Amino acid sequence: MARPGEFELIARYLAPLASDPAARGLIDDAAVLSPSADKDLVLTKDALAAGIHFFADDDPGLIARKALRVNISDLAAKGAAPTGYLLALALPSDWTEDWIAAFTTGLKADQERYGCSLLGGDTIRSADGLMISITAIGEVPREAMVPRAGASAGDIIFVSGTIGDAGLGLVLRGDPARAGDFDLSRSDAERLVGRYLLPEPRVALAPVLRDHVRAAMDVSDGLAGDIGHMCRAGGVAAQIRIDDVPLSDPFRRALAADPSLRTRAVCGGDDYEIVCAVAPENEAAFRKAAEKTGIPVAAIGRFLDGAASGNAPVFVDGDGRPVDLGGTSFAHF
């Protein structure tokens, strides 16, 4: 009998343990607690492992900053401002003090950037490579956390920034010579690799999401897969115009050399942009508020009635024909 995949494992074995309403049935990226009359605490956890989420020989400071930022990205998508975090660090047997010094210097830099600090954690020895697990804690006004579920049929699907850079950056980080295959300059390749090594959580959009959207999540496992998660959580479907998915100039240059990269753009992970559902009557206000943050947003499709489609998102080309992606997103199992 085949073992369950990542999300089936969670649903079958872990969700039954999450009996407190704060856990939201484990269908969201965060839990929410209400310790006071005016604020809620939002809690999220992401773990990163060498060889899976980063290269073991990456700069220690960049590894640290990525580990913290991917958690802050989850908070931002929930409309929360980061306040602190817990750190579990599993170190391989060959760790050095110089490595730890560089790692903590990176953490310190991003603590100052995002206004949070270390609250505690654990440090252990690992027999199987470096692993980092962070639990990030943020605040939102009472009952203002933006859920993953909540999209309604007719809502417009918006995404921030550009999609696909980090996925292509991962390819180039593993094999720099492939920049020639994609007709990329050295600066183009460095920009793409930088998007993979050091994501930019969209914290400035957090209050905009609270005020103007019905549902949101960050794009960590791939745009196609993460929209699918929103569809299943909200009982809706989605249609996305693949030509409207925003791409950076370097990615467009690579796409001209290799058209198959369009699938990588929407299925690759590590973008850490935000995808959200905006009611049509809120579109103008959302666009105006987002513009003030300096973070671009693009409308790429709509959520639809999910009853007839099994909640599956569909990508279409300029003529409205379905595009076969050959997969949807990254999964651990």
Would you say 229 is a known binding-site residue? no
Q: Are 323 and 317 in contact (CB under 8 A)?
A: yes
Q: What backbone phi and psi angles, to 5 degrees, belong to 259? A: -60, -20
Q: What backbone phi and psi angles, to 5 degrees, belong to 121? A: 150, -145
The mean-pLDDT minimum among 69-83, 205-219, 257-271 falls in 257-271
Would you say 53 is a known binding-site residue? yes
Among 42, 46, 118, 48, smallest CA distance to 86 is for 118
Would you say 319 is a known binding-site residue? no
What pLDDT is attached to residue 289? 98
Q: How distant, in Å, are the alpha carbons of 48, 66, 104, 124 from that of 127? A: 15, 23, 22, 10
Would you say 221 is a known binding-site residue? yes
Look at residue 252 and tell me whether its pLDDT is greater than 50.
yes
Look at residue 194 and tell me whether its pLDDT is greater than 60.
yes
Would you say 188 is a known binding-site residue? no
Higher pLDDT, 180 or 331: 180
- In tens, the pLDDT along 50-103 reads 999 999 999 999 999 999 999 999 999 999 999 999 999 999 999 899 999 999
Would you say 122 is a known binding-site residue? yes
What pLDDT is attached to residue 64? 97
Would you say 330 is a known binding-site residue? yes
Would you say 148 is a known binding-site residue? yes
Distant-in-sequence, close-in-space partners of 68: CB < 8 Å, separation ≥ 6: 85, 107, 110, 111, 114, 134, 136
Would you say 28 is a known binding-site residue? no
* Domains, the chain, ordered by start: 15-141 (3.30.1330.10), 156-316 (3.90.650.10)
- pTM of the entire predicted model: 0.89
Q: Token pair of 317, please?
A: 């080309």
Name the band, by pLDDT with cuts 50, 70 and 90, for residue 307: low
Give the integer Cα–Cα distance in Å for 248 and 113: 25
Look at residue 333 and tell me whether its pLDDT is greater than 50.
no
